[in-house]
Amino acid sequence: MSKPLEGIKIIDFTHVQAGPACTQLLAWFGADVIKVERPGSGDVTRNQLRDIPDADALYFTMLNSNKKSLTLDTKKPEGKEVLEKLIRESDVLVENFGPGALDRMGFSWERLNELNPKMIVASVKGFSDGHHYDDLKVYENVAQCAGGAASTTGFWDGPPTISAAALGDSNTGMHLAIGILTALIGRDKTGKGQKVAVSMQDSVLNLCRVKLRDQQRLDRVGYLEEYPQYPHGEFSDVVPRGGNAGGGGQPGWILKCKGWETDPNAYIYFTIQGHAWAPICKALGKPEWIDDPAYKTAEARQPHIFDIFATIEEWLADKTKFEAVDILRKFDIPCAPVLTMKELANDPSLRASGTIVEVPHSVRGSYLTVGSPIKFSDLKPEVTASPLLGEHTEEVLASLGYSQQEIFNLKEIQAV
Ligand code: COA
């Protein structure tokens, strides 16, 4: 079967993580993604945190699979001319330069729309257009702070904390991909392209929706009963950091398992789902708690929830995280081991599903990456190697109608 996005041509004017994550996803699903990179250096991540000298860093390879690389100095007139030709025949241009960079290059939205009114122009910026910080350059952790994640992550007696998950970068890229696909469907109806903009702050805030819920509850009632601060601690007028508490109506915590003294990841996440209280008591060997008024309801349990967690930890003391989950799963208790990157990399289920894939690469030998987390019944996204810098320059220029001599001249001028 042909891939759903086959025939969609995308100019990938992205770098670092937020933009590349978006275009990589679209490339997996069949789009022809041409990454335009500065001659000589390319995307900065090619050189960042290298583990093999002279080979593209994993930071680059893991965010740019299934793409082509065209080197072009788009600040030089000859480079602009090539880019204009590419724009005329592309469906989408994606960029995540700093504020104003595309305009300074001479490719404002108005100009792009004039060159190709059917093209979708998709941008990631730190803050949305017109925001009082819209001139700021932004990286992941900046976005996590600006979007409400940092103030609500971590422990109440520690500082605001950054999540390891790329809430600012890849998450914004995923939002942008949804915007692009929506605009492509819109174009089928109107025949017109449009501008799609996603800010990192907005994308983080979108994922912190439940914390905005909590702010409004706090404003109204002055406390949040599912937070560890309740009922013994104090609440201020802002949503506090809740440690590892469950974010919804189900209390939960990270609990120690056998070996925690030496293994920093010998833990499970344990959720006390309200209607699973009886199975939990049975699993723990505490049948007397099932009907005990001090334990029977969520309200009754909350004041001594940490004593309950301590009892569960006693039960866990002679079980590894895997043994514990194998018992608890039989009682239908929502739980999981705290998995390390090493465990995930070697997980046979993730290998079988294509979520963890090993990709052959001409210079590195191979690299491990995260494949498509989205699974389809009629599409099996295949992950192919990220391109070497300028690997497809000749191919792309030839497809634009340049002769061999013109390609040679262009490469001379561009000092590729
Ligand atoms: N040929 C010539 N010039 C090129 C080029 C090419 N092929 N590709 C990029 N450039 C130029 C741009 O025109 C720009 O030049 P200018 O500033 O002189 O106008 C420059 O390279 C890129 O600038 P910028 O994007 O600001 O890079 P930076 O390294 O200073 O900042 C970020 C990096 C990520 C902070 C910034 O791009 C940014 O804030 N992006 C938006 C938010 C974002 O996506 N952040 C997350 C990244 S994971």
pLDDT surpasses 60 at 188 = yes
Among protein residues, the one with the nearest Cα to ligand 1's atom 25 is 97
**Gap between the Cα atoms of 149 and 205, Å rounded:** 7
How far apart are the CA of 207 and the centre of ligand 1, in A?
26
Q: For ligand 1, is residue 73 a contact (CB within 6 Å)?
A: yes
- Closest ligand 1 atom to the C-alpha of 137? 39
Q: Which of 64, 81, 137, 144 to mutate to test the pocket of ligand 1 (most atoms within 8 A of CB)?
A: 137
How far apart are the CA of 317 and the centre of ligand 1, in A?
51
How far apart are the CA of 358 and the centre of ligand 1, in A?
30
**Gap between the Cα atoms of 291 and 308, Å rounded:** 15
Which residues are annotated as catalytic? 169
Q: For ligand 1, is residue 315 a contact (CB within 6 Å)?
A: no
Among protein residues, the one with the nearest Cα to ligand 1's atom 20 is 101
pLDDT surpasses 70 at 222 = yes
Q: For ligand 1, is residue 139 a contact (CB within 6 Å)?
A: yes
Q: Which of 97, 103, 108 to mutate to test the pocket of ligand 1 (most atoms within 8 A of CB)?
A: 97
Grade residue 306 by pLDDT with cuts at 50, 70 and 90: very high
- Closest ligand 1 atom to the C-alpha of 19? 44
Among protein residues, the one with the nearest Cα to ligand 1's atom 9 is 38
pLDDT surpasses 60 at 357 = yes
Q: For ligand 1, is residue 149 a contact (CB within 6 Å)?
A: no
Phi and psi for 253 in degrees, rounded to 5? -160, 160
Grade residue 1 by pLDDT with cuts at 50, 70 and 90: low
Among protein residues, the one with the nearest Cα to ligand 1's atom 39 is 137
Average pLDDT of the chain is 96
Q: For ligand 1, is residue 124 a contact (CB within 6 Å)?
A: yes
Token pair 């335009």 is found at: 36
pLDDT in tens, 373-414: 999 999 999 999 999 999 999 999 999 999 999 999 998 887
Q: For ligand 1, is residue 415 a contact (CB within 6 Å)?
A: no
pLDDT surpasses 90 at 248 = no
Q: For ligand 1, is residue 146 a contact (CB within 6 Å)?
A: no
How far apart are the CA of 275 and the centre of ligand 1, in A?
52
pLDDT, average across residues 205-232 = 95
Instruction: State which H helix or E strand residue 344 sits in.
Output: helix 341-345
pLDDT surpasses 90 at 416 = no
Q: Which tokens in the block code for residue 124?
A: 């990631």
Helix, coil or strand: residue 94: strand
pLDDT, average across residues 341-365 = 98
Q: What separation in angstroms does the CA of 290 have from each of 54, 83, 259, 271, 294? A: 63, 69, 30, 16, 10
Q: For ligand 1, is residue 80 a contact (CB within 6 Å)?
A: no
Grade residue 155 by pLDDT with cuts at 50, 70 and 90: very high
Q: What separation in angstroms does the CA of 178 have from each of 148, 263, 276? A: 22, 40, 36
Q: For ligand 1, is residue 283 a contact (CB within 6 Å)?
A: no
How far apart are the CA of 98 and the centre of ligand 1, in A?
5
pLDDT, average across residues 329-344 = 96
pLDDT of residue 232: 87
Q: Omega into 228 within 30° of 0, i.e. cis? A: no
pLDDT of residue 84: 98
Q: Which tokens in the block code for residue 34?
A: 């041409």
DSSP string, 270-302: EE--GGGHHHHHHHHT-GGGSS-TTTSSHHHHG
How far apart are the CA of 97 and the centre of ligand 1, in A?
4
Q: For ligand 1, is residue 393 a contact (CB within 6 Å)?
A: no
**0.85 surpassed by pTM:** yes
What is the bridge-based pairing of β-strands 32-37 and 335-337?
A: unpaired
pLDDT, average across residues 48-54 = 96
pLDDT of residue 274: 87
Among protein residues, the one with the nearest Cα to ligand 1's atom 19 is 101
Would you give the distance in Å from CA 341 to the centre of its chain? 16
Higher pLDDT, 268 or 249: 268
How far apart are the CA of 202 and the centre of ligand 1, in A?
20
Q: For ligand 1, is residue 137 a contact (CB within 6 Å)?
A: yes
